Amino acid sequence: MGARPTIVLDTNVLVSALGWRGNERLLYERCRSGELQLATSNALLDELRRVLRYPKLGFTEDEIEEFVSDILLHALMVSPSRTLEVISEDPDDDRVLECAIQSDVCWIVSGDRHLLDLGSYESVTISTALAAANQLPGGD
C-alpha cells in the first residue's frame, strides 16, 4: 500500500457525509485533508447526483453541484476498463466494485448490504464507515 490508503466511498456514504455528522463525514474529511485518497468514477458521480436529487433529502441543485465539485477537487477519477457482474440483485453495486478494482483501492466503504455481504472482493476490503474509520491508518 502506498503512503496513503485509497478508498471508494459508496453513494450512501457520500450522502451521509454531506447531510449528517458521523463516521461517513469523518472519512470524507480525511479524504479532503489528503490523509486518504478517494477514488471515484463518472458512473458513481452520476448515481450520486441522481440520489441527492431525491426530494426526501432536500438538497438544492446548488448544494449538489457544490458537493460534486468538492469531490472532483479531492478524488482520483478512474475509468473502469472491466465490466463486472457480481451482484445480480443490484447491478449498480457492480460499478462500485469496478471503480475499486480499476483504482487498486484497499477499501470500499458502504452501507449497502449487497456489498457488505461480500466482505471483500479480490484484494479489496468492504466494510461499514464505522469499521473503516477505526481500522484505516490514522483513524482513532
Per-residue pLDDT of the chain (140 residues; tens, 9 = 90+): 456 889 999 999 999 998 888 999 999 999 999 999 999 999 999 999 999 999 999 999 999 999 999 999 999 999 988 887 788 787 788 899 999 988 888 889 999 899 999 888 888 899 999 988 888 876 54
pTM above 0.85, yes or no: yes
Domain total in the chain: 1
Q: Which domain holds residue 11?
A: 6-135
Domain assignment present for 16:
yes
* Range 92-99, long-range pairs (CB < 8 A, 24+ positions): 92/47, 95/41, 95/43, 95/44, 95/47, 96/8, 96/10, 96/44, 97/121, 97/124, 98/41, 98/43, 99/8, 99/39, 99/40, 99/41, 99/43, 99/44
Domain assignment present for 1:
no
Domain assignment present for 83:
yes
